Structure 1
Amino acid sequence: MTAYRYRALNAAGKLVKGVVEGDSERSVRGQLRGKSLRPVEVTLANRPAANEGARLSWLRPRVGVAEMALMTRQLSTLVQSNLPLDECLQAAAEQSRKPRTKGLLLQVRSRVAEGHTLAYAMGEFPGVFNEMYRAMVNAGEHAGFLGPVLQQLADYTEQRQYTGQKLKMAMIYPFILVGVAIAVVVALMVFVVPELVGIFTHTARELPPLTRGLIATSEFFRAYGMWVAIGLIVAMLVARRLLRNPGRRKSWHAFLLKIPGISRVVIAVDTARFASTLSILMASGVPLLDALRIAGQVLTNLVLRADSEAVAERVQEGSSLHRALQESGRFPPMMVHMVASGEASGEMETMLQRAADNQERELEMTLGTVMGLFEPLMVVFMGGMVLTIVLAILLPIFDLNTMVR
């Protein structure tokens, strides 16, 4: 059976939505009529409804990281309880509160019920189940350890969600602080400064340079502030569009790796994700070359991704993993030493996970240091701006006092 998404009218004339399984659209409509529902629209669950056709693709609902982690955890628990796989998918779909996730699981279940493997069924939804996810499921099915592999996937997804939330929380405060500082300065220039320095504009005496500069800046913000804001927004949109080109995006990523502070953060984030993904793939029984190719796809920086492809080529030619990583020159030395230790001791998966944990701890320390310096710097900046405005206002008053004396 196939999952269908429906919109129907109940006995009270209220529009209701949901997901139901059926052999065909006609059978689904019959089921709805049997429940005293009048069908309005019935579509396949993995296709957008007609009223969503005009929406942009980025506005359509997607399976988030938190929902993916919960879904994987539920599947892991159900599979390890020795239930048939199609029943596990059915139970997970019934527990889901989101119609899109429920429809997705029912579509996967219908493929499994037809005799396909779980990895094959998930392969029809590459936007939800990425290549790493499908490779691990495929390895778990072939080895007969699907439950433990799903549990590892759930742990991995939850860890990625936790790391992502930490990075977002670390960046929220500086963005808010910068936004408030810019808003305060603009408000002072547009509304406060003209009222305060207006009394000096008609004086015959020449104003101090600082006061003249403040008046000119205030007039500029009042006359062209809106155009400057629009120009910045347009520039950001144009830059985003230009960076869609792989060549330009790779050049931009190479430029980021040349900036001392930013390069350290970019390398720490990407190499931690690379090591963690490689560790879990190898622990799930995925061959090393396939694991390197899949783990390289999780790197967001295109230069580092190209380096990972070069590492895979060297390993394929017979080089050891730690030597291939060392020859690339961009992977952290600590990670290279841990990989070498793992190759020597036969505990590659464990050492890779330790390398990932080490990179994440280093990233947390770096962000903590940056945030610790950023707050006093912003306070000094705001104090300097206020001091400049106050001096620009007081200097003409001091000149008037000198003339009176």
Structure 2
Amino acid sequence: VVEPAASATRGARSQRLAFGRKLSQREQAILTRQLASLLIAGLPLDEALGVLTEQAERDYIRELMAAIRAEVLGGHSLANALGQHPRDFPEIYRALVAAGEHTGKLGIVLSRLADYIEQSNALKQKILLAFTYPGIVTLIAFGIVTFLLSYVVPQVVNVFASTKQQLPVLTIVMMALSDFVRHWWWAILIAVAFVVWFVKATLSRDGPRLAFDRWVLTAPLAGKLVRGYNTVRFASTLGILTAAGVPILRALQAAGETLSNRAMRANIDDAIVRVREGSALSRALNNVKTFPPVLVHLIRSGEATGDVTTMLDRAAEGEARELERRTMFLTSLLEPLLILAMGGIVLVIVLAVMLPIIELNNMVQ
């Protein structure tokens, strides 16, 4: 009778917490780092969780830490306690914690996990910042073109239209486009919304999403970025899991689940089958042709020396640097192209406005 009641209590507590905002990646990294430091310093797990509960800056974090501490005091492992909150602690996080508890090195594992989360957040931030400027330029260009078409072009061109003057073809086309934007803007919004909905609905299905992800990997510029980003995640995750003593098959499965590209994830499933049949990890990854050759070569070297974890960490660091370099190259290429495109569009609109003025001036002369 007691066990079902306890399960019901845990479920109710988890359901109440589910209504709050989940942990941000920054908060997750901070909590992991603090818990690792406290455990390495020698504090018992329940006391360390109590410290995190007391110093929590947000009510949701305080309630979350209190709930986890209550589970631990009730005799559950930390991994099981975190399992009651899957929105805040994903499967790979819980697998690493379970491995740390099993090996008795929970503090060290949490410290490596905090490093991984912080490095992952920093990489995402760098990529986001790199594409921020091109995004701002695109929005400004769209706003300028919309303003010119909906306000400037009608005001200027209508003056010449009232004179019964034969307008240039470019001006006539621009007037028609301006009328369409001003009178059918709602249809444009509906069409854009429909296209977005259709694409999301299509990609939510396994077949089209797998085909799309395979195509993305072959794209000239995006393919290398997607492959590089997923390689960093895979190598970093697999390195942490193997260092924590997680069996290779389980580590491969957990690392594969971190991949955002489903085509690469499917190839990892094939690699798992090959490893289960007795193939070496480097040979299995080489056969599926998913990751850059340098990762496979480093893993092969690690297998020869008996230190795969170090080679995985080295591969992740090298691929992260290469990903940053490719991102900077792509953004440095996009910025002038966007400026040229914006200038070209504005030039066409200005010519459409100026051509009637030039022709009228020629007629007067």
Report the TM range for the smaller structure's normalisation. Answer: over 0.9
Distance 1:288 1:310 in 2: 14
- 1:285 is aligned, of 245, 248, 259, to 245
SS in 1 for 2:22: coil
For residues 383 and 130 of structure 1, what CA distance do their matches in structure 2 show?
Answer: 47
Distance 1:62 1:241 in 2: 26
* Aligned position for 2:146: 186
Count the aligned residue pairs. 357
Which letter does structure 1 place at the counterpart of 2:23?
A: V
Higher strand residue share = 1
The residue type paired with residue 89 of structure 2 is: F
1:73 corresponds in structure 2 to 33
1:11 corresponds to which residue?
Answer: none
**Does structure 2 retain, via aligned residues, the 8 Å contact 1:304–1:330?**
yes
Q: Distance in 2 between matches of 1:48 and 1:117?
A: 21
Kindly state the Cα deviation for residue 312 of structure 1 after the two structures are TM-superposed. Answer: 1.2
1:138 aligns with 2:103: no
- Is the counterpart of residue 308 in structure 1 residue 268 in structure 2? yes
User: Is contact 1:45–1:103 with CA below 8 Å preserved after alignment?
Assistant: no
> Which residues in structure 2 correspond to 1:145-224 (within 5 Å)?
145-224=105-184
Structure 1 position 48 matched with structure 2 position 16:
yes
Identity, in percent, stands at 41
TM-score by length of 1: 0.84
Which residue number corresponds to residue 323 of structure 2? 363
CA distance in 2, matches of 1:198, 1:327: 66
CA distance in 2, matches of 1:199, 1:175: 36
The corresponding residue for 2:189 is 229
Higher RCO, 1 vs 2 (CA within 8 Å, ≥6 residues apart): 2
* Superposition deviation, residue 44 in structure 1: 5.6
Assess if the C-alpha contact under 8 Å between 2:71 and 2:81 holds in 1: yes
Partners of 1:111 and 1:121 within 8 A in 2: yes
Match of 2:42 among 82, 89, 97: 82
**Paired AA for residue 122 in structure 1:** L
- What is the distance in 2 between the residues matched to 1:87 and 1:127? 24
Paired residue type of 1:364:
E
* Mean CA deviation greater in 275-284 or 169-178: 169-178
Q: Give the gaps of 5 or more residues in structure 1.
A: 1-24, 26-42, 50-56
Q: C-alpha offsets along residues 57-82 of structure 1, whole Å, 9 cap, x if unaligned?
A: 8x851111011111111111111122
Structure with the higher helix share, 1 or 2: 2
Q: Distance in 2 between matches of 1:60 and 1:222?
A: 43
The alignment's C-alpha RMSD in Å is 2.0
Cα distance, 1:261 vs structure 2:
1.2
- Aligned equivalents of 1:138 and 1:221: distance in 2? 59
Tell me the residue number matched to 1:54: none
Distance of 2:29 and 2:72 partners within structure 1: 21
Partner of 1:10: none
What is residue 6 of structure 2 aligned with on the other side? none
Please report how far the alpha carbon of residue 45 of structure 1 lies from its aligned counterpart in structure 2 after TM superposition.
4.7
**Secondary structure of the structure 1 residue equivalent to 2:184:** helix
Is the contact between residue 45 and residue 100 of structure 1 (CA under 8 Å) also seen in structure 2?
Answer: no
- Choose 390-399 or 289-298, whichever is displaced more: 390-399
Matches within 5 A, 1:294-305: 294-305=254-265
What amino acid is the match of 1:267? R
Code of the residue aligned with 1:48 in structure 2: it is R
- Counterpart position of 1:249: 209
Which residue of 2 is the match for residue 34 of structure 1? Answer: none
**Letter aligned with residue 269 of structure 2:** E
Shift in Å, 1:251: 2.4
